[in-house]
Amino acid sequence: MKTLRARLTLLLATVLCVSTGLSLVAYLTGSREQNRLETAFDEELSFLAALPAQRARLRDIDLDADSYLLTRQGDWLLRRERAIADYRHRHAELGARLRRKDQVREWALVDHAFDDYVSKQDAMLARARRGGLTRVEALKLTLAKDKVDALVGRVSRMGALSYRHLDEQRRAARSATLATFALLLSIGVISSIAIAVAVSRIIVTPLQRLRDQAAGWALGRPWPDDSGAPGEIAELQKTMRAMSVKLNEQFERERQTSLLKSQLVSGVSHEFNNALAVIHAAHVLLKESERSDTAAPWHDMLSANIRALSGMATNLLNLGRLESGKFHVETSRVELGPLLTDALERLAILGRRKRLTMTLELAPDLPPVSADPDAVALVIANLLTNAFKYTHEGGAIALGAAPRPDGLVEVFVRDTGIGIASEERESIFGGYYRTERGKREAKGFGVGLALSRMILDAHGAALELDSEVGRGSRFFFSLAPHAEPAITAAAKAGPET
């Protein structure tokens, strides 16, 4: 199995070799084309540079002929012959440099025109040597420059043609440069795309598979196998598989411990409730047999503590049932007014002992809700018990319910107790947790709020909290209004008349 490092090294080496080869080919091709254009450019420039001298030679030939016609001295004829020979030699040299067909053709026409010009001039000079020309005729001939001007014009047109070719070569050189640049740029872009695609296939795709495996894995399940992963990814998967085995083992141990704890708590709570039932029955008999004003406060204190202990035991028992999945809610139509009133009356003795002001705040148009009445009563009892425990003497407690704008019904318990710090608000709902101030104020197991949250979660509701340390707390939750089934609603409406 190749490692990621080996795959990437091979990929980069391959891309580098291919890119280097293509770039070298492009460079050599462009360089050869550039050299060819530079050579052609230099030839055109040297040709253009030589044209003025050729035009001057034509003028010299014409001037030598005119001088002979006017002076009839033979030296001018010799000078003319040397000028003609020099012109022909340079004409042949310049013609050998030409590569383009139109230039060669035009240069040949210049050569024919020169030959015609020279032959006619020779005939005129021969006539002069025989004495066939008078001085006046000779003077007229020297003043007529149309033939030499026409020949010079042809040579000048060669210059214009060369200038046009230079411009074409300049554009060709620019096009060749742009083509080379475009080719090199294309090679770079293609190489980058190839590297990106390969890196995606070699690194990103295995990592995405690993991410999907991690996202789909859950406690209690084995880590999925991926035999096609590269070396480093396979090692990482092996490490994560080993970690998942340890986590699953730890999870199983904690599950067994939690199950054992729940069974133990349920058993102890059940026996504790039985003992409290016996104590409560004995206290009732004792209270009936001994009715005196002196004993009444003690009986109240005993009743309040028995009720508090019974609530704690019930909470532990129900928490164990919830954790083991044996606690179920059965929703029905619930009238919150009587339920809240009964809850406050049953626990009012806890408030009277601390001389608390207890208020029931019920909205007049309170609709019925869909809930498990026993479970909701247990939640309210837990919230009221906590309010009584953590509110100092002379404080105030309010229990109430009111409709919300969104149609739900909000139930709340408000107190002026010790309050809860913001950093501890999540911890108190976790179970078996109590704040340091709470431990100093009252005794308990710290399971009431956890049990209440679980019960409300089963109702699809959330237990929420507003609190400020030293000023009190407000616990609240919202329940959905009860919806009558269509058949029941029609039956209540009665038959149509």
CA dihedral 335, 336, 338, 344 (to 10 degrees): 160
pLDDT attached to residue 497:
39
Section 229-256 average pLDDT: 78
Q: What is the pLDDT of residues 275-322, one digit of tens each?
A: 667 676 776 777 677 666 676 666 666 766 676 566 556 655 565 555
Q: What is the pLDDT of residues 41-54, one digit of tens each?
A: 777 777 777 788 88
CA dihedral 472, 478, 481, 485 (to 10 degrees): -140
Residue 356: CB atoms within 10 A of its CB come to 22
Half-sphere exposure of 250 (CA within 13 A, CB side): 7
- Computed over every residue of the chain, the mean pLDDT equals 78
pLDDT attached to residue 158:
74
Considering the entire predicted model, what is its pTM?
0.44
Q: Which of 416, 403, 415, 397 is nearest to 481 (CA)?
A: 403
**Alpha carbon distance 154, 176 (integer Å):** 33
pLDDT attached to residue 25:
77
Residue 361 has pLDDT above 90, yes or no: yes
Q: Where is pLDDT greater, at 408 or 193?
A: 408
Question: 164-198 burial by CB neighbour count: b if 16+ within 10 A, else e?
Answer: ebbeebeeebeebeeebeebbeebeeebeeebeeb
| N- to C-terminal Cα separation, the chain | 86
3-state secondary structure the chain: CCCHHHHHHHHHHHHHHHHHHHHHHHHHHHHHHHHHHHHHHHHHHHHHHHHHHHHHHHHHHHHHHHHHHHHCCHHHHHHHHHHHHHHHHHHHHHHHHCCCHHHHHHHHHHHHHHHHHHHHHHHHHHHHHCCCCCHHHHHHHHHCCHHHHHHHHHHHHHHHHHHHHHHHHHHHHHHHHHHHHHHHHHHHHHHHHHHHHHHHHHHHHHHHHHHHHHHHCCCCCCCCCCCCCCHHHHHHHHHHHHHHHHHHHHHHHHHHHHHHHHHHHHHHHHHHHHHHHHHHHHHHHHHHHCCCCCCHHHHHHHHHHHHHHHHHHHHHHHHHHHHHCCCCCCCEEECHHHHHHHHHHHHHHHHHHCCCEEEEEECCCCCCEEECHHHHHHHHHHHHHHHHHCCCCCCEEEEEEEECCCCCEEEEEEECCCCCCHHHCCHHHCCCCCCHHHHHHCCCCCCHHHHHHHHHHHCCCCCEEEEECCCEEEEEEEECECCCCHHHHHHHHCCCC
Contact 414, 405 (CB under 8 A): no
**Alpha carbon distance 354, 351 (integer Å):** 5
pLDDT attached to residue 214:
80
Section 77-106 average pLDDT: 85
**Alpha carbon distance 395, 355 (integer Å):** 8
Q: Where is pLDDT greater, at 468 or 29?
A: 468
Min mean pLDDT across 29-38, 108-117, 214-223, 241-250 is at 29-38
Residue 492: CB atoms within 10 A of its CB come to 8
Residue 369 has pLDDT above 70, yes or no: yes
C-alpha gyration radius of the chain: 57
Contact 205, 213 (CB under 8 A): no
Section 35-62 average pLDDT: 77
pLDDT attached to residue 268:
61
